[in-house]
Chain A
């Protein structure tokens, strides 16, 4: 493991590390702040999930009343989506994208700090509902008229609206920053089609954030005006339309699904080639499939609204089913990458394979729900809950862990313990499937989502109990993870610059990288500059050289 020699960092003046972290504009420190902040909200939202599953373990109301239950699933969904899964990939993106591009920092470092610091503010506003007589309880989708003044009278819903508007604005500023960085800050030689796949997925993701988030901001403002200034956007008695909220919400909400999942698919596409010792199969196909998903995502929103009866079913069924094609392309990209590769089953690789298999199930149940007749039966049942968790948890959250195991050595300079990592994976994988697979069956049998109780004679008790046990197994799987991270940070083995034999530029600098990222860059002649550098003398990769050697041998004879 070579260690790159770097010029010593200047120590012109020193200041306390607290002030340093509070005022930093370094993309790597901001990235770490994003990740830590997201894990804090992940912990809190995870506790809420345990509240939900505990209450549903057996029929009857044992632990919480309906009101607390409603607040729990609303805050669980809101925090998991808006303050864990989206920002944590912004965090990994913040840390890794400039490194992958060979850039010294993001394009707008101070806006970068602003868009991070708005997140704890917005998250704090959302959570502070608990301090003023109850948090928002209208579901993370905030459907009207549930969230109107007469059904949700408390301040919790207003704080939820304000907090989401702040978080949304933060992500818009972040997307401007990411896109400008990707368009303008690439190192010489780093053309668009030499960018790592993770950067491509961030590019498409951030474009979706840029264009979809403002629509939900407009909807949130409309809802706020309805609640506080006597507006009637969503009030049918004076000409408003409650379904309009669903249109605006899902016009944002469906691109949001891809905002969540695409970076995770990008992580898989870095992890699988590295640990298969092969290049990603079909780089261009993967890029175009990602762009295709991004474009299609704006034409499928009303498949969430089939049962409203006001949307044109065949169009939205067709467009939704169409998304299966680029997604299927990606599946074949990954399978062909694994095929005949020299697989190395590190923890990151296990999570990568976990995503491929779990996201496949989530994708298939998604196509089932896209079919209008099936959807009419399954709307608002646990089938939908199972489907969205196979995408958000089995896809995206597993991607978070794959990214953590993959890039932790780069960020900290230390290796994580592989045994603990594998225990983490095994517990999470079993717990996840125990929790959510049975929910498919519960949904088909008609168990509605967002209800605190169910009849004892409905036949749902066993499956709910399995689901609850699984949820606690997921929670328990976080123990080896946290122990692993803490012990590794304290005295883990040094990782060196490139512990995995990676392909992309972040492995060409030290671990952790210096403030300015690179002393020198390898020449960028392909999408795998570090691979090229490692094998620059290998004749196998220079057919023309091999031929020249043959010829010179012949001349010798």
Chain B
């Protein structure tokens, strides 16, 4: 039709400003994860609201206890959020070696949390098929554990890449993205711990 094309001006220089693209993607993904856990929490509260008997672990299993494991693994996961943050701060100053150290500490704490949760499972005295409480308890904590495991995988990849010297003060957006995810997993656990153990 009209001979417009030759008159088009050259594309202006594309400047990548503002919030980095990978972090936008991670935040969007986390908002989706919020809705996923929202759905799982909805099953918990729905079951609890309509439960006829006394809500809690099905007898003869004992009530949930804070000790020996639930409180310590909660503290472990909380600390790991701080160590993750120290790692991001280290690389922001260009200290790759120190970041790798903090990443490995975070990784270790994450694995410790998972081991603690598995041991805790063996002491509960009820299973996933023992009534609706068992089902929602293991589904919620299990899917949270699966997300911690996902974070552990991400941290392992970061630690390997850090060993290969792939991060610098200017280029470490992957570390930040994983840190967002790790903090999110931590927040989910706080909500879960409050729901299951504190409110009962």
What is the size, in residues, of chain B's interface with A at 8 Å between Cβ atoms? 49
Shortest C-beta distance, A338 to chain B (Å), equals 22
20 CB-based A-B contacts, threshold 8 Å = A1-B1, A2-B1, A2-B3, A4-B8, A5-B5, A5-B6, A172-B29, A180-B25, A184-B18, A214-B35, A221-B139, A225-B135, A226-B135, A232-B132, A239-B131, A247-B42, A248-B39, A520-B10, A522-B4, A534-B4
Q: Is B199 an interface residue (CB 8 A)?
A: no
Q: Is the pair B131, A229 in contact by a Cβ cutoff of 8 Å?
A: no
Name the A residues within 8 Å of B32 (CB-CB).
172, 175-176, 210-211, 213-214
Query: Knowing that A175-B32, A244-B47 are A-B contacts, what are 9 other residue pairs whose CB atoms are under 8 Å apart, sorted by A's residue number?
Result: A176-B25, A176-B32, A184-B24, A187-B12, A222-B43, A240-B132, A520-B11, A523-B9, A533-B8
Name the B residues within 8 Å of A8 (CB-CB).
none
Q: Is B129 an interface residue (CB 8 A)?
A: yes
Q: Is the pair B47, A239 in contact by a Cβ cutoff of 8 Å?
A: yes
Q: How far apart are the CA atoms of A185 and B37 in the complex, in Å?
A: 30
Q: Is the pair A231, B1 in contact by a Cβ cutoff of 8 Å?
A: no
What is the size, in residues, of chain A's interface with B at 8 Å between Cβ atoms? 64
Q: How far apart are the CA atoms of A536 and B47 in the complex, in Å?
A: 64
Name the A residues within 8 Å of B42 (CB-CB).
215, 218, 244, 247-248
Name the B residues within 8 Å of A188 (CB-CB).
12, 14-15
Q: Is the pair B5, A233 in contact by a Cβ cutoff of 8 Å?
A: no
Give B15-41 interface residues, CB cut-off 8 Å to A: 15-16, 18-19, 21, 24-25, 28-29, 31-33, 35-40
Name the A residues within 8 Å of B1 (CB-CB).
1-2, 496, 498, 501, 534
Give B111-154 interface residues, CB cut-off 8 Å to A: 127-129, 131-133, 135-136, 139, 143
Q: How far apart are the CA atoms of A75 and B135 in the complex, in Å?
A: 29
Shortest C-beta distance, B83 to chain A (Å), equals 27
Name the B residues within 8 Å of A523 (CB-CB).
9
Q: Is the pair A231, B8 in contact by a Cβ cutoff of 8 Å?
A: no
Name the A residues within 8 Å of B129 (CB-CB).
229-232
* Most-contacted residue by chain A among B21, B28, B31 (CB, 10 A): B28
Q: Is the pair B28, A233 in contact by a Cβ cutoff of 8 Å?
A: no
* Most-contacted residue by chain B among A212, A244, A520 (CB, 10 A): A520
Name the B residues within 8 Å of A251 (CB-CB).
39
Give A183-214 interface residues, CB cut-off 8 Å to B: 183-185, 187-189, 210-214
The 8 Å CB contact of A241, one of B10, B47, B143, is B47
User: Residues on A close to B: CB < 8 A?
Assistant: 1-5, 102, 107-108, 111, 172, 175-177, 179-180, 183-185, 187-189, 210-219, 221-222, 225-226, 229-233, 235, 238-241, 244, 247-248, 251, 496-498, 501, 508, 518-523, 530, 533-534, 536
Shortest C-beta distance, B176 to chain A (Å), equals 15
A218 in contact with B4 given A175-B32, A183-B24, A247-B46 (CB within 8 Å): no
Q: How far apart are the CA atoms of A382 and B40 in the complex, in Å?
A: 33
Name the A residues within 8 Å of B66 (CB-CB).
none
The 8 Å CB contact of A222, one of B14, B16, B28, B139, is B139
Question: For residue A523, which residue of chain B has the nearest CB?
Answer: B9
Name the A residues within 8 Å of B50 (CB-CB).
239, 241
Name the A residues within 8 Å of B19 (CB-CB).
184
Q: Is B197 an interface residue (CB 8 A)?
A: no
Contact with A along B38-70 (1 / 0, CB 8 A): 111011001100111100000000000000000
Q: Is the pair B139, A231 in contact by a Cβ cutoff of 8 Å?
A: yes
Q: How far apart are the CA atoms of A530 and B9 in the complex, in Å?
A: 12
The 8 Å CB contact of B28, one of A5, A180, A213, A522, is A180
A240 in contact with B31 given A2-B4, A107-B25, A187-B14 (CB within 8 Å): no
The 6 closest A-B CB pairs, nearest first, are A230-B129, A218-B39, A214-B36, A239-B132, A231-B135, A4-B5
Q: How far apart are the CA atoms of A459 and B16 in the complex, in Å?
A: 67
A175 in contact with B5 given A238-B132, A240-B47 (CB within 8 Å): no
Q: Is B164 an interface residue (CB 8 A)?
A: no
Question: For residue A529, which residue of chain B has the nearest CB?
Answer: B8
The 8 Å CB contact of B132, one of A176, A229, A233, is A233
Q: Is the pair A239, B36 in contact by a Cβ cutoff of 8 Å?
A: no
